[in-house]
Amino acid sequence: MRKTITLILLVALFATTRLSMVSANTAKPFSRKGETQTTSKSFYDTSLKMRFKILDEDNATVAITSRTQEDVMGNELAYTGEVTLPNTVEHEGKTYTLVAIGDSTFYNAKELKSITFNEALTSIGNFAFNNCPALTSEIKLQGKITSIGYKAFYSCNKIPSLTIGKQVEEIKDGAFSRMYAPVTMEEGNMRFTLANGILTDTKESRIIAVNYKTTSLVIPNETKRIGDYALENCSKLSTITLNEGLETIGYRAFNYCKSLSSIKIPSSVTAIARNVFYNCKGLASISVAEGNAKYKVENNYLLSRDGKSVVFYAIGSKATSSEVPEGVEVLQEGAFSASTLSTITLPSSLKEIEEAVFLQCRKLESIEIPDHTEKIGRATFAFCSGLKKITIGSGIKNIDRICFVYTPFTELYIKATTPPEVNQRLSSCFAKKSLDEGILYVPSGCKESYAESEGFKDFKTIKEYNLKSDSGIKLKTNKAVGDKIKLTVKYDGELTINGLDVVPQSNVETECTLTAQEIAIKGNVLELHCAGNELTELSLMGCNTLETLDCSTNQIASLDLKELPNLSILLCSENSLNTLDTSKNLKLAKLWCSKNSGIKSLDLTKNSELIALWCYGCSLQTLDLSPCTSLTGVDCYSNQLSSINFGKLDYLTRINCSNNQLETLNLSGIANLDELNCSKNKLTSLNLAPVPYLTSLNCASNQFTSLDISPVPNLASLYCQQNQLEALNLSKNKVLEVLYCYENRIAEKAMGDLVSSLRKVPQDHYENLMIINTSASEEKNYPTAAHIAIAKEKGWTPKDFQNGIDDGNGIPFGGYNATTKVLQEDTLRIYSTSEGTLLIEGKPMQELLIFSLEGELLFQAAPSSSGRYTVSLPLHTGTIIVALGNYRQKVVLK
């Protein structure tokens, strides 16, 4: 199952814990049609197929509520299809009036298509229609409806329109979030206003919702609170100004505001809810106005004023590593979620990690949780696909549920001698792959207690460990005694170094002075970074604790890795290596060995945990990746590869195998592939059926005569230029954004079919169509002016590559037609004024030359001060080349 699907399941699981669920007692298992089943407070009407909760016996009022398993007897639990609410319902001889829709009544009713409200309805409960994706009926909150509950219509994204009546008195947060319908307000409503895309509760000075198309926003001066989810999915919002006077920012208020790059918190703000900037991937800068008594910013961290809580880290910053400030005791919910950090260093002061803090941190590779941390919250490390090693300190007491789901770590070190409590309610805390194939390391003498513990008994491999181990490392450099070198050594305990004037601090890059050309290091070394130091030799003996080695950009001719059992990251690019043996490095997760021209083969048989492989610029002739079952990405371009064997790689999403000698490429077994670059090979065909989720394909500069992209409907970018394609059908593709297809053989009729098959794109999208390269002598494409008009009408921008003019972005192209009217829109214009006569307009003072396609000079004119030329070629038909200054254009004369 795709990870996108499993994420939806996880979000749904989160949602269930936040619902105020309406309970119903067990009903009788069967009754005749038209009769009712009853409990003390609710009953099920078998004729209406609805369950009702009695609200007031004296006034005889009820609310419709969710059905129970006993009600439906194995059928669909959620309400489906078209639902019309009755005004009254009979029960035990008494008539009740339906006045309310209970909390969560239609929650997650994925097949509910329409809802018709009854006349007596006065309130719609919390989560009432939350996540009803098929609901397509207009929603009119009119009549007697006065109250709309929390997240009542959340994520009902197909509702065509919503009207708020003048009688509505209450709308709770999130009621209309993630709902893209236009909202209108009846005149006369005294409580709510709708202006400039902002729905506001004037009584509470609270913003309820903002139109999702908003690109820039200034919060009105009277606003005191931005409600929960108020700006969720405003993905185009790039700038926002928060008003002085604003006091509260609600839960997940800015969810998925992906274009927002900066925000300033006013001095008046006293409360910021948790997870407020979830998935704001562009947010690189956060600031707090001077005088704010509750919050401050430090190194891209939004902190409580006392520095004890992290509210949020600016995940849009370009950093790959970050260090949480010392003194922080709590990481609040979602603080790092969806960040691209690969390394996060936590402070010794940390006591609690709340839920979802590192959710979807897919580039996070390892994490060490300090000894003072007692609690790790729900889903904290869920969907961290790159996280392989986790160390949890000795003070841990509680790990909440689904903490590590879909995070297939290979090593979990726990220092606590007493197993912490693990919440396994509803779902396992750990990924099945981790339980089956990962290793749980526990302190010496504690294996039995962990194996019997409810939270850890499902681990198939539990080992005892002692981190106290010596490492012996020797480095030899060409630099002279007295020269400077830079080293970063991360170590545990004592470290001794000979050959340098100082001992570096652990995990701190240090510039040292050589006291000898050979350096000896002893201690529990965890990481060694020694790149760019003119090293000629590197010896690694008995380095049981070494996990990361970066020795790239040196002159090392050989590297013995046999005594590095825990090595997970090896960066040895740009050396003089001829061979590389990783057979003893079973935990290797990242291997970068690029630009070692002497390496002709790689044996990865033992590297099943390998996640990322960079081996470009070597001399590889074949590559077998089938053993690397955890692989997510490979860069093997610019080798001499004639074959690649992928086998079955479920996690592989990106391949760059360009600039090789490949004649075939078998993609079966890598169904989750997202990006493929196989340009500059010798491919004649490519079967895309095995990779239905592909979004980016670069197959330029091969030998294709045909290309079927119908199996990949989600393709967003296609580069298929410089092939021999005679046609290209895009009718099955609904999301394509970029198409480069110049220098092929797409004739006039086939070109018409191509542009006709292009999708019509929204007005706010920019789609790039590189359709021709008039500077290329081998160009056989023939787009006419009519074709160009069709493409433009569909929202595309047809361009002429022109040998990469404007940094490869090309220039707008007007198209050929029967009389060669308008070839170039901006810099060179060509018109046919009569049979065989051309009027050419361009930049002044440029020499004009006209050639046949075979290179024969047909016409020459001296530079003109006006830039206008009249050319008569009455006897010439076919293709000619017009050269004016630096511009070259093809013209077809008929």
Position of tokens 């919390």?
A: 126
Confidence of residue 857 (pLDDT cuts 50, 70, 90): confident
Q: How many helices (H) and strands (E) does the chain have?
A: 6, 66
pLDDT at 689 over 50: yes
> Which CATH number does 195-318 carry?
3.80.10.10
pLDDT at 152 over 90: yes
Q: What is the pLDDT of residues 434-464, one digit of tens each?
A: 999 999 999 888 999 999 999 999 999 999 8
pLDDT at 352 over 60: yes
Euclidean distance between CA atoms 702 and 204, whole angstroms: 64
Q: What is the pLDDT of residue 234?
A: 93
Contacts of residue 891, defined as CB under 8 A and 6 or more positions apart, other chains included, come to 816, 820, 823, 830, 838, 879, 880, 881, 882
User: Is CATH 3.20.20.70 the right assignment for the domain spanning 832-893?
Assistant: no
pLDDT at 834 over 60: no
Q: Of 371-380, 583-592, 692-701, 839-848, which gets the smallest average pLDDT?
A: 839-848
Q: Of 57-66, 117-126, 409-418, 756-765, which gets the smallest average pLDDT?
A: 756-765
Inter-residue contact 542 to 494 (CB < 8 Å): no
Q: What is the pLDDT of residue 10?
A: 45
CB atoms within 10 A of CB 549: 25
Q: What is the pLDDT of residue 868?
A: 74
DSSP secondary-structure letter at 574?
Answer: S
Q: Do domains 1-190 and 320-466 have the same CATH topology?
A: yes
The 3-state DSSP composition of the chain as helix, strand, coil percent (nearest 5) reads 5, 30, 60
Q: What is the pLDDT of residues 260-288, one digit of tens each?
A: 999 999 999 999 999 999 999 999 999 99
Nearest 5°: CA angle at 750, between 744 and 754? 85
E strands within 499-551? 510-513, 518-529, 535-541, 548-550
Euclidean distance between CA atoms 313 and 297, whole angstroms: 10
Q: Is the dihedral of CA 846, 847, 853, 854 positive or negative?
A: negative
Q: Of 216-225, 248-257, 274-283, 884-893, which gets the smallest average pLDDT?
A: 884-893
Q: What does the pLDDT average to over 698-714?
A: 96
Q: What is the pLDDT of residue 875?
A: 61
Higher pLDDT, 71 or 553: 553
> Which amino acid does the sequence have at 423?
N
Q: What does the pLDDT average to over 760-782?
A: 78
pLDDT at 407 over 50: yes
Q: What is the pLDDT of residues 643-687, one digit of tens each?
A: 999 999 999 999 999 999 999 999 999 999 999 999 999 999 999
Locate the domains of the chain by residue range: 1-190, 195-318, 320-466, 470-546, 832-893
Q: What is the pLDDT of residue 19?
A: 40
Report how far apart, in Å, the C-alpha atoms of 815 and of each of 552, 755, 878 are.
Answer: 50, 12, 16
Q: What is the pLDDT of residues 314-347, one digit of tens each?
A: 999 888 999 999 889 999 999 999 999 999 999 9
pLDDT at 296 over 70: yes
User: Could you tell me the pTM of the whole model?
Assistant: 0.52
- Record the tokens describing residue 192, joined without a space: 């709510």
Q: What is the pLDDT of residue 509?
A: 94
Q: What is the pLDDT of residue 839?
A: 74
> Which amino acid does the sequence have at 73?
M
pLDDT at 179 over 70: yes
- Record the tokens describing residue 376, joined without a space: 């790790």
| Range 95-126 burial, b when 16+ CB lie within 10 A, else e | ebbbbbbbbbbbbbbeebeebebbebbbbbbb
Q: What does the pLDDT average to over 181-197?
A: 94
Q: What is the pLDDT of residue 828?
A: 63
Confidence of residue 808 (pLDDT cuts 50, 70, 90): low
Q: What is the pLDDT of residue 785?
A: 86
Euclidean distance between CA atoms 135 and 113, whole angstroms: 4
Confidence of residue 764 (pLDDT cuts 50, 70, 90): low
E strands within 419-563? 421-422, 439-443, 462-465, 471-477, 484-498, 510-513, 518-529, 535-541, 548-550
pLDDT at 157 over 50: yes
- Average pLDDT score over the chain: 88
Confidence of residue 874 (pLDDT cuts 50, 70, 90): low
> Which CATH number does 320-466 carry?
3.80.10
Inter-residue contact 193 to 220 (CB < 8 Å): no
pLDDT at 1 over 80: no
Euclidean distance between CA atoms 128 and 79, whole angstroms: 12
Higher pLDDT, 697 or 12: 697
pLDDT at 635 over 90: yes
User: Is CATH 3.40.50.11690 the right assignment for the domain spanning 1-190?
Assistant: no
Report how far apart, in Å, the C-alpha atoms of 50 and of each of 26, 44, 71, 211, 733 are.
Answer: 15, 6, 8, 34, 42
| Helix (H) or strand (E) run with residue 792 in it | helix 785-793
| Chain CA centroid to CA 612, Å | 18
pLDDT at 24 over 60: no
Q: What is the pLDDT of residue 824?
A: 38
| Range 304-313 burial, b when 16+ CB lie within 10 A, else e | beebebbbbb
Q: What is the pLDDT of residue 22?
A: 33
Report how far apart, in Å, the C-alpha atoms of 619 and of each of 599, 699, 701 are.
Answer: 6, 22, 21
Confidence of residue 814 (pLDDT cuts 50, 70, 90): confident
